Amino acid sequence: MKKCYLGVDVGSVSTNVVVMDSDENIVDTLYIRTQGKPIQAVKDGLKEIESRLDKDVEILGLGTTGSGRQLASVMLGADVVKNEITAHGIAALKCVPDVNTIIEIGGQDSKIILLRNGIIHDFAMNTVCAAGTGSFLDRQAERLNIPIQEFGSLALKSKAPVRIAGRCAVFAESDMIHKQQLGHNEEDIINGLCEALVRNYLNNLGKGKDIRAPIIFQGGVSANEGIKRAFEKILEQEIIVPKYADVMGAIGACLLAKDEVSKTGKTNFLGLDVAASDFSVKSFECENCPNMCEVVEFYRDDELVARWGDKCGRWSDVKVLSKEKLA
Amino acid sequence: MKITFPHMGNLYIALKAIFEELGVGVIPPPKCNKRTLELGTRYSPELMCMPFKITVGNYIESIENGADTLFMWGGCDVCRIGFYNTLQKDILKDLGYDIQMICVEPFESIQQIKNFLKKLKMVSGENNYLKFLTIFIKGIKLLNQVDEFEDLVNKIRPRQIIKGEVDKLYTKFEGEIKNVKGYKETLNIIKQNKEKLKKIEIDNNKDVLKIGIVGEIYTVVEPFINLELIKKLGDMGVEVHRSVTSSEFINEQIDFVPFIHSSKKEVHRAASPYLDTEVGGHARNTIGNTVLYSEKNFDGVIHLLPLTCMPEIVAQSILFTVEKEKNIPILKLVLDEMTGEAGYLTRIEAFVDLLKRRRESIFNEKMLSRS
């Protein structure tokens, strides 16, 4: 029987699942698009992973992360529910123990994490703008009618630099259209976009931060070689893209789950076949006070398993009570 | 006449009691909620800061409940807030509301306090200045009592043994305040609840992190705009200290009066190597209090500001240097209309993780150097 841990990272753009064995080797990884349906994505991801795994694999623990971490935890029963900043930091430390800087660019947000002597020292996340993130690139790729997977390799072919404004997605887009109409090469424009995104990232998140090597680049966008090269050019440093760069959050969740299970000696994980359960959500507006919270009720196979969304705890605390009674 | 005022955290408790003492009908606005925000953003200039928008919403909701006189503070030296009342009066007039606005200037001198008392006279129709003065002093006392109560709440919340007990008491407290009138009754309720709070079972040996909150006052004291940050941190087992509160704000202005104390001098001294003049708002306090928190061995500082807040943007650029020189982690949170909490929670949780690990490593270093 092979003993393994499961990490699930439910992000806005992708849902990632990682299976890690007890010696911390990665057994399998999965990257699927969330497409605005996190519940379905988690179900599909788990089913897919189950069908790929050997029959004799036993899951000892589960960690969840990403913006949908609470949801995934309620669905599957997690041992650890961790924010993505800590999860990414833990995973990067595993790959490069002396890492000092982590550049993480995902679909909806981007982060910079600074580490010193193996602990997270400082971090920043983009605030109100998505200009420096994957969805911006996605949209531009669509506009140019190029599959996003080829975006990076095309950028590498560029010979003449074309400067594109990077401050804001709207500016960048109109600047790009203008450069297209001037007749610039497609690869030069794509390269310009990559550099614009990197400049934007460094101006927003890197401002005032001491970016020291070794630098790791991870998250969905790290698959884009054009961006990697732009970072290397501007920072004048080597950028390391780890083997499993696109699923680092899930790896961090695995490591944390292993740690937690070793402490508690048991797991909350409901088993791989939980993916076959029927999940449904109902919501209502609580009218008990002027806050008018939107309360979400979560059902697993018609059984109410959790409520959330209220400020005062009158609904979410009920769940805890009923659980205690059952026990 | 029915008077109302905008919300700013627990300030309403003292204001309500003062006006009741003056014998005026008071209509406090409903607690800030989604509708307040919606009304406020609909009728305010787009680029205006959040506190302005929420205040406009407060007024409209109060007027709907029957208020006809609006109380507001202003003055020309603080920040945009000095201009709030003028603009808000116009906005409400354009909307067709027939209202009267009473605006109080900052208390910089005895003369200003006199002017304030004069304005109170307009409201109440009473003539006795001595009575006004006693009511004014009572108001200040209440304000200080409420903030002391709140500080105690923030101290006990991370240490409570049964999760949610403090908040249950607090919700009940808010309900009780609604039903009492005047200084004496209000003070009694605060005192009673303080005693009840002290009886809540706590874990004294719990290792709690300490985080200080600095920044623009409205975002610090109003839980609706800061997405209940202080409560969330408390539930994560963090003791939170607020550096700017309504009571400290008033005390700083009137500490030339013999029996009033504020930490203004200390804060200004602490800020002076980085910023030794007023640049508006609470920028100077933000810098000074961050320095003080580092001297008091707090684990970290959270800096709150509403989007487009000029004084705090100035403070923010200085905080980079303070963070480095004083070796204290600072998390900046910019607050605006967004009520989606996921992004904020991620930042807060990660910050708390960072502080925990940092404390552990400092502890380990100490142990190593000792052995």
Residue A118 and residue A72 share a domain = no
Please answer yes or no on whether B33 and A83 come within 8 Å at the CB atom: no
Percent of chain A with pLDDT over 70: 94
Asked, for residue B199, whether it belongs to a domain, the answer is: no
As a whole number, mean pLDDT of residues A179-190 equals 88
User: Exposed, middle or buried by CB within 10 Å (0-12, 13-18, 19+), for B34?
Assistant: middle
Residues B212 and B131 in one domain: no
Residues B354, A215: Cα–Cα separation, whole Å: 19
Average pLDDT of every residue of chain B: 90
Q: What's the whole-number mean pLDDT along residues B265-274? A: 95
The answer to whether residue B331 sits within a structural domain is: yes
Q: Which residue has the higher pLDDT, A195 or B106?
A: A195
In a domain, B152, yes or no: no
Domain harbouring B285, CATH code: 3.40.50.11900
Cβ contact A9:A255 at 8 Å: no
Q: Are residues A80 and A116 in the same domain?
A: no
Which residues face A80 on adjacent strands?
A63
My answer on whether B234 and B122 are in the same domain is no
**Separation of CA A34 from chain center:** 11
Tell me which chain B residues have a C-beta less than 8 angstroms from the C-beta of A290: 30-33, 35
| One domain, residues A63 and A112 | no
- B64 contacts chain A (CB < 8 A): no
> Does residue A231 fall inside a structural domain?
yes
DSSP conformational letter for A265: S
Q: Is residue A236 part of a domain?
A: yes
Nearest chain A CA: its distance from B181 CA (Å):
21
**Predicted pLDDT at B68:** 92
- Are residues B307 and B335 in contact, defined by beta-carbon separation less than 8 angstroms? yes
Asked whether residue A161 falls in the same domain as residue A287, the answer is: no
Shortest Cα distance, chain B CAs vs residue A188, angstroms:
35
Name the more confident of A13 and B61: B61
User: Residues B271, B287: contact at Cβ < 8 Å?
Assistant: yes
pLDDT by residue (tens digit) across A223-282? 899 999 999 999 999 999 999 998 999 999 999 999 999 888 888 898 888 888 888 888
Those residues with Cβ within 8 angstroms of residue A194's Cβ, 6 or more apart along the chain or in another chain: A151, A152, A155, A224, A226, A227, A229, A230
Q: Would you call A127 and B334 a contact, using CB atoms and an 8 Å cutoff?
A: yes
CB-based contacts of A20, cutoff 8 Å, min separation 6 = A4, A5, A6, A7, A26, A27, A251, A254, A255, A258
**Encoded tokens for A110:** 């981007």
- Chain B 279-308, CB below 8 Å of chain A: which residues? 307
Residue A93 lies in a domain: no
Do B340 and B215 have their domain in common? yes
pTM summary value: 0.86
Question: Would you list which residues of chain A are within 8 Å, Cβ to Cβ, of chain B?
Answer: 67, 82-86, 109, 117, 119-123, 125, 127-128, 208, 289-292, 311-313, 317
Q: Under an 8 A CB cutoff, do B347 and A125 touch?
A: yes
Residue B111 and residue B26 share a domain? yes
B94 with B217, same domain: the answer is no
Residues A232 and A271 in one domain: no
Claim to verify: residue B217 and residue B349 sit in the same structural domain: yes
The reply to whether A263 falls in a domain is yes
Burial of A286 (0-12, 13-18, 19+ CB in 10 A): middle
Non-local (6+) Cβ contacts of A316 within 8 A are A306, A307, A308, A309, A310
**Domain end residue (candidates: B108, B138, B168):** B138
Distance in angstroms (rounded) separating the CA atoms of residues A104 and A91:
12
| A198: CB partners within 8 A, 6+ apart | A166, A227, A230, A231, A234
pLDDT at B161 over 50: yes
Question: If pLDDT is split at 50, 70 and 90, which confidence band does A318 have?
Answer: low
Same domain, A272 and A287: no
Q: Which of B120, B138, B156 is the last residue of a domain?
A: B138
Q: Are residues A124 and A57 in the same domain?
A: no
Number of structural domains in chain B: 2
B138, B155, B181 — which closes off a domain? B138
Helix (H, G, I), strand (E, B) or coil at B276: coil
Amino acid in the structure at residue B35: R
Mean pLDDT of A282-296: 83
Going by C-alpha positions, the residue among B258, B14, B231, B282 that lies closest to residue B143 is B14
What is the percent of chain A with per-residue pLDDT over 90, rounded to a whole number? 34
pLDDT band, residue A315 (cuts 50/70/90):
confident
Q: Tell me, what CATH number does A270's domain have?
A: 3.30.420.40
Q: Measure A299 CA to nearest chain B CA, in Å.
A: 21
For residues A106 and A231, membership in a common domain is answered with yes
**Sheet containing A303-308: order of strands:** A279-285, A294-300, A303-308
- Written as one string, the DSSP assignment of B55-104 is HHHHHHHHHHTT--EEEEE--SSSSTHHHHHHHHHHHHHHTT---EEEEE
Residues A56 and A17 grouped into a single domain: yes
Burial level of B201, CB count in 10 A (0-12/13-18/19+)? exposed
A71 and A139 in a common domain: no
Query: A111 and A224 in one domain?
Result: yes
Residue in chain A lying closest to B352 (CA):
A86
Q: Please give the residue range of the domain that contains residue B67.
A: 2-138
Is A66 inside any structural domain?
yes
Residue partners of A144: CB distance under 8 A and separation at least 6: A186, A189, A190
Judge whether B23 lies within some domain.
Answer: yes
Q: What is the pLDDT of residue A130?
A: 56
Give me the amino acid identity at A17: V
* B171/A contact by beta carbon, under 8 A: yes
pLDDT exceeds 90 at position A36: no
Q: Is A198 exposed, middle or buried (0-12, 13-18, 19+ CB in 10 A)?
A: buried
Structural domain includes residue B63: yes
Residue B74, domain member (yes or no) = yes
Q: Going by DSSP bridges, is the β-strand pair B100-104/B69-73 parallel, antiparallel, or unpaired?
A: parallel
Asked if residue B29 belongs to a domain, the reply is yes
pLDDT digits (tens, 9 = 90+) for A136-157: 888 888 888 888 888 888 889 9
Q: What is the pLDDT of residues B305-357, one digit of tens each?
A: 998 899 999 999 999 999 999 999 999 998 988 766 778 888 999 999 999 98
| Domain shared by A272 and A283, yes or no | no
For residue A210, what pLDDT is reported? Answer: 87
- When divided into structural domains, chain A yields a total of 3
Both B217 and B361 in one domain: the answer is yes
Using pLDDT thresholds of 50, 70 and 90, give the confidence band for residue A317. low
Out of A241, A261, A290, pick the residue that ends a domain. Answer: A241
Q: Is residue A264 part of a domain?
A: yes
Do B118 and B212 lie in one domain? The reply is: no
Q: Tell me the per-residue pLDDT of B183-201, one tens digit each, with 9 for 90 and over.
A: 999 999 999 999 999 999 9
**What's the burial of B82, exposed, middle or buried (CB within 10 Å: 0-12/13-18/19+)?**
middle
d(CA B42, nearest CA chain A) in Å: 19
A219-A256-A81 Cα angle (round to 5) = 80
Predicted pLDDT at A209? 86
Owner of token pair 């009304």: B39
Q: Is residue A258 part of a domain?
A: yes
Task: Tell whether the model's pLDDT for residue B77 goes beyond 70.
Answer: no
In this prediction the ipTM stands at 0.78
**Domain hosting residue A261, numbered range:** 2-88+249-276
